[in-house]
Chains A and B, each alone.
Chain A
Amino acid sequence: MAETASETFTLVITGAPYSSQAPQTALGFAQAAVTAGHRIDRVFLYGDGVHLASALSAPPSDETNWSEEWSRFLSEHSVPGVACIASALRRGLVNETEQKRYELPAANLRTPFEIAGLGEWVEGRIKSTRTLYFHAGD
């Protein structure tokens, strides 16, 4: 069986941390992909997955902080993390731009996540070798 050359992935996460395993399964996959020499084109948060981008999560110290783990992975490997704007605004995940636009009392998007539209997902679908989805299990 031939070794695969370096390939690219778009990972879509639709399950929220603590409501599902999606962020954990996705992170395990992402870390393995990078270790194997592949590139993650982007991580796209959709639906309830946008909660992963919250800067305000503070789980007990003996629980994994999934937002922090993902933030670290994205920064370490220079992988773009995008929260879908429609999903994010509905669920109250906003960056400073959206906070100003909607005159909201705070911004809560965790670095290095950005907010963008579904066009990012479409682009990943077209350009990446594979697009995988990590949904909630229940």
Chain B
Amino acid sequence: MATIQTLHILNKSPEHPRAARCLEMVSEEDGLLLTGGGVLFLATGHLSGPGKVFALSPDIDARGLGDFKGSNAELVDFARMVKLSLEANRVISW
């Protein structure tokens, strides 16, 4: 697996102005981890940008988004979130 250059952690929902700003900054070698309200991007289907997408399971389950599991995001738990934060060269919490 190629190293993730930057892991962007996004907890803002699609309506939040910072969400669009974050998505503009994700490049091909980056990872995007959706947490909190950020998992709602799985429901809108507007994640066509570059980079590998991950989503935090407890937040998906909380919001009843089980139907969208495995759509275009890899589901992770907190243990994997910790691993991702260390594997990436750097982390930006949006």
Contact = CB atoms under 8 A, between A and B. Distances in A.
Interface of A: 1, 4, 7, 9, 21, 25, 28-29, 31-33, 35-36, 38, 129-135, 137-138
A90 to B, nearest CB: 23
Contacts of B79: 32, 35-36
Contacts of B36: 21, 25, 137
Contacts of A28: 58, 78, 81
A134 B93 contact: yes
A129 B86 contact: yes
Can you list the 3 inter-chain pairs with the closest CB atoms, starting with the nearest? Answer: A32-B78, A133-B93, A137-B36
Given A25-B36, A28-B58, A138 B82 contact: no
A contact patch SS? mixed
A108 to B, nearest CB: 28
B39 to A, nearest CB: 10
Given A28-B58, A32-B79, A132-B9, A137 B38 contact: yes
Interface of B: 1, 9, 11-13, 16, 35-38, 56, 58-59, 77-79, 81-83, 85-87, 91, 93-94
B93 A31 contact: no
Contacts of A7: 86
Contacts of B83: 4, 36
A100 to B, nearest CB: 36
B82 A135 contact: no
B4 to A, nearest CB: 12
Given A129-B86, A132-B91, 17 more contacts: A4-B83, A7-B86, A21-B59, A25-B11, A28-B58, A28-B81, A29-B82, A32-B81, A32-B82, A36-B82, A130-B85, A131-B91, A132-B9, A132-B93, A133-B93, A137-B37, A138-B12
